[in-house]
Amino acid sequence: MKKVANKSNRKKGRGNRRGSSTDKAAMKQEPKTKLEEWELRLYVAGNTPNSIAAFGNLQQICETHMGGRYRIEIIDLFENPQLARGDQIVAIPTLVRRLPTPIKKIIGDLSNAERVLVGLDLKPARAFAAGR
């Protein structure tokens, strides 16, 4: 974090004092510039229609609502079945949101965009329930 010092408020002989109230106030007002990145894992089983649909739906949701701040990892359980154990996958396709925490899981082809947005915490559950 960058420290900001205001020279006009300093007294002579105290210019190198750490933790002055001026420095602390300036640091509190500094805006956050790092945007949150989403880390998503999509567990699929080969090129089945549900797996293909889930990936396409996920890409569309991410582009529309995450503004390019996401990374999707596709895990094909036909090729690496042992990877299902790490995220406790019991059905496929399953989307796992690794970041931001907490971890969230959504099972299915992700065709219900409203449900996916609520599941990923991109939309409040109250708005979803009111829209039904």
Q: What is the pLDDT of residues 3-37, one digit of tens each?
A: 333 333 334 444 444 444 444 444 444 333 356 79
CATH code of 75's domain = 3.40.30.10
Q: What's the whole-number average pLDDT of the chain?
A: 78
Question: Structural domain of residue 50, as residue ranges?
Answer: 38-127
Domain-located, residue 67: yes
3-state secondary structure 67-118: CCCEEEEEEECCCCHHHHCCCCCCCCCEEEEEECCCCEEEECCCCCHHHHHH
Q: Averaged over 58-78, what is the pLDDT? A: 95
Domain-located, residue 27: no
Instruction: Note the pTM of the prediction, 2 decimals.
Output: 0.68
CB atoms within 10 A of CB 50: 15
Above 80 in pLDDT, residue 132? Answer: no
What single-letter amino acid sits at 120? L
What's the number of domains the chain is made of?
1
